[in-house]
């Protein structure tokens, strides 16, 4: 399907979703949120792709919310305002819970919701000119919808500074915080993403999806009998499956597994 605000590019097992509002620095509005949510569904259903990359056209990755859109919904009926906020929350959750690995390709500004998108992806690769901020408090808002993903990425203690101050975070600081995994020069960012995508493509599709679910569901759980039983059941279930059988056989037979072919 063709979208007005999102371009879908497919190459070598990678689906790249380009946010395409460069004149607004890819700031969110209702149309971009709806189209990006639908595009993520298309990427999920594309059996030829193994990795999803989220990127932005123009000078920035995503400069947060379009303030005209925000103002319109702030003045709307309460239920309409709430429904709009729910759609943004659903987009971030859809991104975070993709079965396929998701990589954020960040350049320029990743502010507010843009930082939330970067945090919701599994891996973040940023160019040296990128910067991040949760600056909502500076215009009388709070980073509520993006909060869970930012906290997951950088932890409560660091988030307590940046969510309250709205300071800019350069790529070096973002990497120290744990938000950014790799930094690359602008001309080298796609090559770096290609390297990571190639590494991700070595894994079995079902194993990658199950590993993502494992990360979400065991984080911060106590090391108790229930967790031990849960993890034992997970490995027992997956190693009895066809994908694990193919992977183990391929390793023993010194050949690539079927999903790599």
HEC readout, the chain = CCCCCEEEEEECCEEEEEECCHHHCCCECHHHHHHHHHHHHHHHHCCCCCEEEEEECCCCCECCECHHHHHHHHCCCHHHHHHHHHHHHHHHHHHHCCCCCEEEEECCEEECHHHHHHHHCCEEEEECCCEEECCHHHHCCCCCCCHHHHHHHHCHHHHHHHHHHCCCEEHHHHHHHCCCCEEECHHHHHHHHHHHHHHHCCCCHHHHHHHHHHHHHHCCCCCCHHHHHHHHHHHHHHHCCHHHHHHHHHHHCCCCCCCCC
Cα 22 from Cα 109, distance rounded (Å): 12
Whole-angstrom distance, CA of residue 179 vs CA of residue 150: 8
31 an active-site residue? Answer: no
- And the tokens for 4? 């007005």
Using alpha carbons, select from 209, 211, 202, 198 the residue that is nearest to residue 258: 202
Selected catalytic residue, list 9, 31, 42, 136: 136
Q: Which residues are catalytic?
A: 136
């Amino acid at each position: 399907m063709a979208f007005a605000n999102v371009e879908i590019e497919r190459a070598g097992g990678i689906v790249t979703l380009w946010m395409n509002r460069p004149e607004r620095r890819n700031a969110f509005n209702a149309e971009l949120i709806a189209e990006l949510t639908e595009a993520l569904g298309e990427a999920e259903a594309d059996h030829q792709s193994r990795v999803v990359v989220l990127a932005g056209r123009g000078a920035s990755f995503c400069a947060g919310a379009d303030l005209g859109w925000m103002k319109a919904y702030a003045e709307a009926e309460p239920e309409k305002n709430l429904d709009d906020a729910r759609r943004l929350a659903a987009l971030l959750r859809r991104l975070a819970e993709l079965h396929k690995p998701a990589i954020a390709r960040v350049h320029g500004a990743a502010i507010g919701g843009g930082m939330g998108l970067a945090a919701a992806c599994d891996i973040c690769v940023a160019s040296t000119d990128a910067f991040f901020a949760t600056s909502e408090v500076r215009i009388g808002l709070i980073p509520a919808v993006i909060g869970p993903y930012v906290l997951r990425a950088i932890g409560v203690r660091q988030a307590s500074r940046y969510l309250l101050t709205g300071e800019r975070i350069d790529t070096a600081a973002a990497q120290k915080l744990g938000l950014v995994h790799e930094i690359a020069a602008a001309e080298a960012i796609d090559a770096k993403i290609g390297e990571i995508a190639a590494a991700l493509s070595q894994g079995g599709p079902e194993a990658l999806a199950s590993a993502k679910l494992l990360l979400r569901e065991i984080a911060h759980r106590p090391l108790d009998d229930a967790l031990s039983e849960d993890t034992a059941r997970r490995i027992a279930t997956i190693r009895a499956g066809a994908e694990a059988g193919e992977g183990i056989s391929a390793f023993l037979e010194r050949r690539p597994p079927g999903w790599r072919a």
